[in-house]
């Protein structure tokens, strides 16, 4: 890790974005990063948009009380770094050795979007994808129990890593990262994984790969989790939800 050695060359391959947005790819530059490097820090100006080509990164923030909250994991294909104020507010950090990222200069990309409607559409779609990723994230953080959070996290990683069904899922991040992502203690994450392994829901292949054996147990951890059947299996409909008038709209 001694020399940083970031090689930068312009003009990168289209990479699954469709030929109509080739103009966007022409202004991108590919950069290579090492594990632990900082892509941008919280106070940096938001002058680039990014796309993970290979490897992984995290966006995080140090809270007032000294904790680190990971706001998003970025995996291959994910576009990130959008901002409407000029400043980042979040730090972007590389978590996998030899990560390659496509960097889009914001000003030029915006100019391009203003002259090419197809580029504008693509940028809009990328932003919408970010929104849906963050909404899913919110639902995940809303889980109450640690088992639920970890289960939901594994399912999210399975969906995002785009591997074959039933294939092993790579976990590019440490348990500490997972803990900061789920707002749990590391020990709790570790224990939840152990519990899921014990009941047969997953198999741990080393520490950084997981095989999902029983999706249903992960989807509904409370119901099928406890080795000893829980007495309260019946009352599922707890919580604060109140009835609402029907779904129709526009009379």
Dihedral angle, C-alpha 43, 93, 153, 81, nearest 10 ° = 50
* Contacting range for DNA; rule: CB under 7 A; set: 40-48, 77-85, 101-109, 231-239: 231-239
Q: In b/e form, how buried is each residue of 80-92, taking b as 16+ CB within 10 angstroms?
A: bbeeeeeebebbb
Q: Does residue 209 bind a copy of itself (CB under 8 A)?
A: no
Site membership for a copy of itself, residue 236 (CB under 8 A):
yes
Please report how close the Cβ of residue 55 comes to a copy of itself at its closest, in angstroms. 15
For helices 117-141 and 146-160, the axis angle rounded to 10 degrees is: 160
- The option from a copy of itself, DNA, none interacting with 190 (CB < 5 to 8 A, set by class) reads DNA
**Nearest distance in Å: CB 41, DNA:** 19
Cβ at position 14, least distance to DNA in Å: 32
Closest CA to 24 of 57, 61, 51: 51
**Structure token pair of residue 97:** 């050795």
Q: Which string of DSSP letters, residue by residue, matches 129-155?
A: HHHHHHHHHHHHHT--SHHHHHHHHHH
Question: Which tokens in the block code for residue 174?
Answer: 């440490």
Q: Give the one entry of a copy of itself, DNA, none that residue 244 binds, where binding means its C-beta sits below a cut-off of 5 to 8 angstroms depending on kind.
A: a copy of itself
Residue 100 contact, options a copy of itself, DNA, none, Cβ 5-8 Å cut-off depending on partner type: none
The footprint of DNA (CB under 7 A) covers 1, 144-147, 174-176, 183-191, 193-194, 204, 206-208, 232, 235, 238-239, 242-243
């Amino acid at each position: 890790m001694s020399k940083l050695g970031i090689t930068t060359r312009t003009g990168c391959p289209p990479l699954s974005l469709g030929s109509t947005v080739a103009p966007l790819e022409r202004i991108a530059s590919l950069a290579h990063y090492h594990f632990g490097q900082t892509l941008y820090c919280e106070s940096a100006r938001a002058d680039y948009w990014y796309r993970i080509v290979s490897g992984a990164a995290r966006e995080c923030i140090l809270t007032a009380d000294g904790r680190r909250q990971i706001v998003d994991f970025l995996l291959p294909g994910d576009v990130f770094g959008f901002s409407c104020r000029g400043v980042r507010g979040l730090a972007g950090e590389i978590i996998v050795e030899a990560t390659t990222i496509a960097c889009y200069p914001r000003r030029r990309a915006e100019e391009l979007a203003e002259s090419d409607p197809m580029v504008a559409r693509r940028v809009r779609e990328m932003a919408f994808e970010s929104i849906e990723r963050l909404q899913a994230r919110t639902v995940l953080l809303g889980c109450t129990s640690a088992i639920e959070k970890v289960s939901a996290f594994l399912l999210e990683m399975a969906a995002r890593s785009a591997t074959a069904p039933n294939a092993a899922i790579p976990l590019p991040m440490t348990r500490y990262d997972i803990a900061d992502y789920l707002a749990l203690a590391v020990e709790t994450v570790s224990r939840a994984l152990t519990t899921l392994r014990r009941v047969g829901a997953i198999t741990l292949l080393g520490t950084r790969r997981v095989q999902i054996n029983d999706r249903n147990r992960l989807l509904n951890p409370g119901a099928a989790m406890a080795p000893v059947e829980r007495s309260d299996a019946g009352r599922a409909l707890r919580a604060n939800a109140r009835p609402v008038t029907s779904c129709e709209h526009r009379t």
